[in-house]
Structure 1
Amino acid sequence: MARLFNKLPRFLQSKWAIGIIVLLVMGGGYRLLKGGGTAYQLVSVTRGSITETVSITGNTTPMQGVSLGFQNTGTISRVYRNLGDTVKAGQVIAQLNVANLYAALQQAQATVAIQQARLDGLKAGSQPQDIAASQAALQKAQQDLANLYSNISDAAASGYTKANDAVRTQLDGLFYSPEGNIPQLTFTTSDSNASYAATSLRLSASTELNKWQTELIGVTSLSSPEILSPLLKSGLAHLAVVRNLLNAVSATLDGNVNLTSAQLATYKANVTVALTEVNAAISSLNTISQSISSQQATVAQVQAQLALKQAGSSSHDIAAQQAQVEQARAGVASAFANLQGAQIIAPISGVITQLDAKVGQLATPGTPLVSIIGNGGFEVDAGVSETDIGKLADADAVSMTLDAFPGETFAGSVFYIAPAQTNTQGVITYLVKVSFNQLDPRLKSGLTANVDIQTQHKDDVLILPQYAIVQNDKGAFVKILENNTAKEMPVTLGIQDQKGNVEIVSGVTEGEQVINIGLKTQ
């Protein structure tokens, strides 16, 4: 080769001459592919794997979550948990004042006992010794009830004394003209609402104490139940006004006040003593009230037993009494349901994410006050367009990224596809739920998730890039070179992946070269 090169003329041995020769050779080859003056870029049909995906955006939501409220109307008396607390299923979160509901349950239970006793008596018949025993039991029950009534006068008088001391002794230094028509605080406070409430309630407290004192005149432990019984209800009402006053005064002291530290400490201590006295009086009267209610039920039960024993019974009477027992049991079930409805009980284990229940707040049925996110992890909820929903199926594999954790990928699967559409301002979507394959304690509700759902995967198929395919009203085509002339070849398309690759079902063979048309026509 070198010898042949040396025989060439010297001008052909220069670098410039060699470059010109190379260009001429390349130009000739280029013209071979021009096909009548047009140059083409070719793409080879390959064989491989392809995955079709549907990409959507959604948000994380808890797998389990509930919103809870009270089933009854009432005043919230207890809140046992705080926002963010972890609770177990069955734990009480908050409850209403259940004194009346509990008394109603006891009354219903007593009614069942009474009706059951009557039924048992009807079935058993009467014996002289049974009648005598029932009469003795009734006398004892009545005496026990009378003893409870006799305690009312002393408890009411003691309650009055404690309330009077709380208002007129412990709070004496906190008001100007405390017994006048317009009592005023002896200090200023930043809590104007509490100040107004305190002065108004101080006037009311005097009225209540004077009225209470009048009610107690002439009442002794020997007074009749008809006289003693009303003292329980009125005494509790008087004490409620006094306690409201003490709470209002306490609120004024919690604000910014023009008192020395020593004065403030003394006033707060006085209010604490007063509240202790009043609460003790309320507890005493409530205890007597509940004891009387229970004993009244006992007396009624014993009376019913005695009446049954003293009277004969027939099959008709027994059947009728059986119905009374069933009705009474239904009353117990209703009372128990009402009592349960006065509590917010966690139905699942999890974390409290909403807690709007406040002590003293009036609750109404059906108003959500508590929300709990369960411990079962999170899912992603997303809307899928009607053009893509037909591609999805349960158990489709999912790959997700979360904006909160850049650079991380989470695996999951589709576990729910809504059968009905969601119409949002005329846009139709279908709810799809995706589960995470692994629990992650970092997940929170409401995180934005970018979801890729793998709807189909095929191996060992023919593949071409989208830009090498012509699509129009007549179908899908590729262009091949035949005798240096571009010719359309119809093809059948399969699935397409996110990289722009398309499965070719038929029309071309592996390794065949098609023209890269570089665009997609409609």
Structure 2
Amino acid sequence: MKLRRLTLATLTLTLLGGGYAVYQYFVAPADGTAYKFAAIERGPITASVSATGTLSPVVSVQVSSQISGQIREILVDYNSVVKAGQLLAQLAPETYEHRVRQAEADLEAARATVAVQQAELYRAKVNLMDAERDYTRKQTLVDKNFISPAELDKAQTLLEAARAQRRVVEAQGKNSEALVKQRAAQLGQAQVDLGRTEIRAPADGIVIKRSVEPGQTVAASLQAPEMFVIAKNLADMRVETAIDEADVGRLKAGQEATFTVDAFPGKRFKGTVTQVRKSALVVSNVVSYTVIIDAANPDLILLPGMTANVRITTAQKDSVLKIANAALRFRPPSDEKSAPAARQQGGGGMAKGGGRPGGAGSGKLWAPGKDGKPTLVEVKTGINDGTQTELVDSDLAEGREFIVGTASAEKPKLATPRMF
């Protein structure tokens, strides 16, 4: 009987102790909290903007056909090195050769017409001289009363007609001369079109694209069809990258940039920002601006079309005090409850304007107090590189530690009783 009572008492104490332990573990608050710390460091810091872009030659020329026709022959291919004026392709010239011969015949006919008009003009001048002599002679005879005045009037009429005929012939001659010039211009146009059947390189470079094949017909009625693309110099490349509108204000021409390409993951290339275009690009309601970065390619290993992962340096300082961004984001639980809105904005105390060069920001740091509770420290911040932020407060010392988070141990999981 005594053994049974002792067993029940022991079981009761065990249950009470287990319940108290569970209460302390899951319900009761802890007396103290362990924190993680980060110290203020001194060193260089670099603010940058990251984006992706596409490589392209600095100067590329599209070679097109200004006339329509069938491609008779192609003399170059991809990667062919060409010189200015070099023949790239040949269109079928027969149609344009016939046009040249037709224009030559039209020109000869116009010149013959001019010759005829010159003969007509000479005859009109002779007739006019004859009419003038006849009028003068009859006027003398009228003065001596040898003929009637009617004969003089008739001579005067013939004289006026001869003068009018000369003017008509002179006008026809000028028209024929203009027609000769017109026919000559048509012949020149036909010869130019015949010359355009030979597609030649407009500049020195290398063929990076070929869009046509022998036997293909090109039609230049509405738009000149692209046949080749020639890169003038692959030793100079450029990266076209789209920068978000929130970051474009930090960029300007002359800033240094680095980029990598997937083809050479361990190699970093250098470039310089040469242009920040003011024309906005709107894609899915996202506004961005095109930034041009020029880079040297002396080894010719960068190829057009490669994807470049770009990092543009917007600000850089050599020796400054800096702290981990986690310290600026940290907020103790009591402060979070009193200011929930501040926690939602800026990551809970992250510096405002900290990534902008030339614009001072502000932030909050929490240092361990003497009673173990976090103590607020207001700070002024400068640039940040995504992981650390510059501190511009002169009274902060290097090595001073601030809270970046809690370091509470993970609670062990309670074992689930097995039924079998």
**TM-score, scaled relative to structure 2:** 0.60
Alpha carbons 1:56, 1:452 under 8 Å: kept: yes
Match in the other structure for 1:338: 193
Detail structure 1 runs of 4+ shifted over 6 Å in the superposition. 313-319
Q: Which runs of 5+ in 2 are unaligned?
A: 1-30, 123-167, 330-360, 407-420
Residue identity opposite 2:400 in structure 1: Q
Report the AA paired with residue 368 of structure 1.
E
Question: Could you say which structure has the higher strand fraction?
Answer: 2
1:354 aligns with 2:209: yes
CA offset digits 1:350-397 (Å, max 9, x no partner):
222333434433221133232323324322222222222222211211
**Structure 2 CA distance, aligned partners of 1:46 and 1:384?**
31
- Partners of 1:425 and 1:404 in 2: how far apart? 30
Helix, strand or coil: the match of 1:439?
A: coil
Q: Deviations over 1:77-112 (max 9, x none)?
A: 33232343221222231232223324434655676x
Q: Does the Cα contact within 8 Å between 1:386 and 1:428 map onto a contact in 2?
A: yes
Separation in structure 2 between the aligned mates of residue 511 and residue 391 of structure 1, nearest angstrom: 29
What amino acid is aligned across from residue 292 of structure 2 in structure 1?
Answer: K
Alignment partner of 1:301: what SS?
helix
Q: Which residue of 1 aligns with 2:382?
A: 494
Amino acid in the other structure paired with 2:87: V
Amino acid at match of 1:423: V
Among 274, 285, 288, the alignment partner of 1:415 is: 274
**Distance apart, 1:327 and its partner CA:** 4.2
Aligned to 2:194, the other structure's residue is in SS state: helix
Deviation by residue 1:263-308 (Cα, 9 ceiling, x = unmatched): xxxxxxxxxxxxxxxxxxxxxxxxxxxxxxxxxx557635634642
Note the alpha carbon deviations across 1:239-270, whole angstroms, 9 max, x for none: xxxxxxxxxxxxxxxxxxxxxxxxxxxxxxxx
Separation of aligned partners in 2, 1:333 and 1:48: 73
What is aligned with 1:84?
79
Structure 1 contact 478–514 (Cα < 8 Å) conserved: no
* Structure having the higher Rg: 2
Counterpart among 216, 226, 233 of residue 375 in structure 1: 233
Secondary structure of 2:398's counterpart equals: coil
- Aligned partner of 1:308 in structure 2 is 118
The share of aligned pairs that are identical, in percent, is 27
| Cα distance per residue 1:308-366 (max 9 Å; x no partner) | 25525998678766755664565355435533543433223222233343443322113
**Alignment partner of 1:505 is 2:315:** no
| SS at 2:278 equivalent | coil
- Between the aligned partners of 1:58 and 1:406, the Cα distance in structure 2 is 16
RMSD of equivalent CA atoms: 3.4
Counterpart position of 1:53: 48
Question: Would you say the 8 A contact 2:380–2:391 is kept in 1?
Answer: yes
Asked if 1 retains the 8 angstrom alpha-carbon contact of 2:367 and 2:403, the reply is no
More helix by share: 1
- Equivalent pairs counted in the alignment come to 295
Q: Name which of structure 1's ranges 333-342 and 435-444 shifts more when overlaid on structure 2.
A: 333-342
Structure number with greater CO (CA < 8 Å, separation at least 6) is: 1
Q: Tell me: CA distance 1:110–1:382, structure 2 relative to 1, closer, same or farther (3 Å).
A: same
Name the aligned partner's letter for residue 194 of structure 2.
Answer: L
Task: Decide whether the 8 Å contact of 2:237 with 2:296 is kept in 1.
Answer: no
Question: Which residue in 1 is equivalent to 2:28?
Answer: none
Shift of 1:465: 1.6
Q: Would the aligned equivalents of 1:490 and 1:507 in 2 still touch at CA under 8 Å? A: no
| Cα distance between partner residues in 2 of 1:391 and 1:326 | 62
Q: Residue 383 of structure 1 aligns to which amino acid in structure 2?
A: A
Q: Distance in 1 between matches of 2:215 and 2:184?
A: 33
Post-superposition shift, 1:477?
0.6
Structure 2 residue 357 is matched with structure 1 residue 477: no
Residues 466, 301 of structure 1: CA spacing in aligned structure 2 closer, same or farther, 3 A cutoff?
A: same
SS of corresponding position for 2:326:
helix
